[in-house]
Amino acid sequence: MSSDPYNAMVREYFADPQHAGDLEGAATGYFSDQGMHIRLAATVSGERITSMRFRAWGCPHVIAAAEAICRQYEGRPVAALEEFTSDHIMQDLAVPIEKTGRILVLEDTVRSLGQAIRDSA
């Protein structure tokens, strides 16, 4: 068993967060809890998410998870946001059980973004 708390995917996404930043005129979901802040922004065309960006203030797992969500949902139908659960993120990023609460905050942020998109339609 490795003593490294971060797997290769966390290291890759944390080192090169391609979706970090802001989007002009985007729907935004924001959540702040447990000493961290997460903002997800998305632009939509029709029923599809055309682009996503994030701002995250938290540990490497949180930043990598925000990047993973943007990569996963960009280009997908808006309705796919409603299906998001933290299970795959927890497994893919090998998030320690003690950080589950932080990833659940991210799940709340995804739901907040989905609601913001629906409200702006």
* Alpha-carbon distances, residue 23 vs 36, 44, 55, 93, 109 (angstroms): 21, 11, 11, 26, 16
Question: Can you give the pTM of this predicted structure?
Answer: 0.92
In which region does residue 37 sit, left (phi positive, over 0), alpha (psi from -120 to 50) or beta (all else)? beta
Instruction: Render pLDDT for 50-60 as a digit per residue (tens, 0 to 9).
Output: 999 999 998 99
What amino acid occupies position 98?
A: E
Which domains, ranges and CATH numbers included, belong to the chain? 8-120 (3.90.1010.10)
Token pair in block for residue 11: 């290291």
Is the torsion defined by CA of 117, 41, 49, 64 positive or negative? negative
Instruction: Render pLDDT for 53-94 as a digit per residue (tens, 0 to 9).
Output: 999 998 999 999 999 999 999 999 999 999 898 999 999 999
Rounded-to-integer distance, Cα 61 and Cα 44, Å: 27
Instruction: Render pLDDT for 28-47 as a digit per residue (tens, 0 to 9).
Output: 999 887 788 999 999 999 99
Token pair in block for residue 43: 């632009």
- For residue 1, pLDDT over 60 is answered with no
